[in-house]
A = this chain, B = another copy of it.
Amino acid sequence: MTNKLVNTIQQFKLFKHCSGSFHQSLASQARILDLQKGKLLFIHESEAERFYIILNGWVKLFRETLDGAQAIIDILPANHIFGETAIFQDNKHSYSAEIVEQANIISLPLDLLKSEIESNPKLAISMMSSMAQCRRHQSQELENRTFKNAPQRIGCFLLRLIDPDQSGSVSIHLPYDKTLVASRLGMQPETFSRALNQLKKQINMNVNGSTLKINNVTDLINYTCSSCSSEFPCHELRS
């Protein structure tokens, strides 16, 4: 089991420049979690001792406002790491994390990551690259809230789900339920429904439950990216 884990860990881009002995140490202190939808992994402001790698499933990062509304920071798919930035925030989590689709997750000790960062500048640079990517992604989200209308914001979300080399007709399956997609995009469910209908009218698209069929992906790109500072396929695209 540990050997398989070592293999999994060393395949992660973040750990590419770390030594075999670091991969071994991480694996020996790893726990594999099998978590159901709705499970809260940690909460905002709690003491952070572990960080996490998603093997499969989806994880929602969020905060709660004083009146109980959820502000979604991100919804992460497989191969994403989370909880690691607590190192730079007095070992406190700056968000809560909840499983939104049944997930297998590797839990790893934060102190080991911290000491490796302190002695391995290549790991530090990999982490900074990933943080810079996250910053660009958030800037793009802020821009989207200002300049894209609701149908265009849905279009941008859909473009993240397709292979950028695809052309012609495409079929997209929403990765999680529509209410969650709406929250992820900072919309009320009713706004999302209306905007999806408007998008259908703008481009030739059929909606069947969670499956969307688009006749020509170029129409979606032209409609979505016309009021954006990036051109498709942009650096900021990621699920």
Contacts and interface: CB of A to CB of B under 8 A. Distances in A.
A211 interface: no
Interface stretch (A23-31, A52-60, A88-96, A98-106): A88-96
One complex includes copies of this chain to the number of 2
A231 B65 CA distance: 9
A229 interface: yes
A234 to B, nearest CB: 11
Nearest to A236: B94
Interface stretch (A34-42, A134-142, A170-178, A202-210): A134-142
Contact of A134 (B122, B129, B135): B135
A122 B117 CA distance: 9
Nearest to A116: B121
Interface stretch (A4-12, A143-151, A160-168, A192-200): A143-151
Interface of A: 44, 63-67, 69, 71, 73, 85, 87-89, 94-95, 117-122, 124-125, 127-129, 131-136, 138-139, 141-143, 145-147, 186, 225-231, 235
Query: Considering the complex of A and B, which 3 residue pairs feature the smallest CB-CB distances, nearest first?
Result: A124-B124, A63-B229, A71-B143
30 contacts: A63-B143, A65-B229, A66-B225, A66-B226, A66-B231, A69-B147, A71-B139, A71-B143, A73-B139, A73-B142, A87-B128, A88-B128, A88-B133, A94-B132, A94-B136, A94-B139, A94-B235, A95-B139, A117-B124, A117-B125, A118-B122, A118-B125, A120-B121, A121-B124, A124-B125, A128-B128, A131-B132, A138-B139, A142-B142, A142-B145
